[in-house]
């Protein structure tokens, strides 16, 4: 690879998932590396979960986790489970590039709807999704811990 290169690729094995962990940890702070790797492995096998990473100068600086789903309210769609950019690389268009990658992957694979959830406190992310990426706010997500 040449210097000053930026590209996106799907991460498909344990070593690549490990390389993405430091960035994913910024969003999924409760997960230690072993738990993260176990969940990614299970989700890829059972749920067709995918992780795409944006590399800048051979280093992962942003990651997106997504998977196909089917529900009665959305039909067949892609759910964006995770989207995070390393703090030092924010506001450089990397999150946008990754989300556009997810949009392209979705269309190429026959999905015409992409949905996601974002924590109530993440106001900057909400502005990004609504203003920059033209997502609509359509619902609240509720959670009950059992």
Tell me whether residue 78 is in a domain.
yes
For 51-86, the pLDDT digits (tens) are: 999 999 999 999 999 999 999 999 999 999 999 999
* Residue 107 lies in domain: 6-132
Residue 130 binned pLDDT confidence (cut-offs 50, 70, 90): very high
Tell me whether residue 142 is in a domain.
no
* pLDDT score recorded for residue 1: 46
Are the beta carbons of 63 and 71 closer than 8 angstroms?
Answer: no
* CATH code for the domain in which residue 80 is found: 3.40.630.30
* pLDDT score recorded for residue 32: 98
Residue 127, token pair as written in the block: 């502005």
Which of 93, 42, 32, 90 is CA-nearest to residue 65?
42
Domains of the chain: total: 1
C-alpha–C-alpha distance, residues 26 and 49, integer Å: 19
Residue 143 has pLDDT above 60, yes or no: yes
């Amino acid at each position: 690879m040449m210097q000053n290169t930026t590209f996106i690729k799907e991460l498909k094995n344990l070593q690549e998932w490990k390389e993405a962990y430091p960035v994913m940890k910024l969003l999924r702070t409760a997960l230690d590396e072993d738990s993260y790797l176990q969940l990614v492995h299970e989700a890829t096998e059972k749920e067709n979960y995918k992780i795409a990473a944006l590399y800048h100068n051979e280093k992962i600086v942003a990651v997106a986790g997504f998977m196909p789903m089917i529900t009665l309210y959305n039909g067949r769609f892609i759910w964006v489970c995770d989207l995070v950019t390393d703090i030092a690389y924010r506001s450089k268009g990397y999150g946008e590039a990754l989300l556009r990658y997810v949009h392209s992957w979705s269309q190429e694979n026959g999905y015409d709807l992409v949905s996601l959830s974002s924590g109530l406190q993440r106001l900057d992310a909400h502005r990004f999704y609504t203003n920059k990426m033209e997502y609509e706010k359509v619902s609240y997500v509720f959670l009950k811990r059992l």
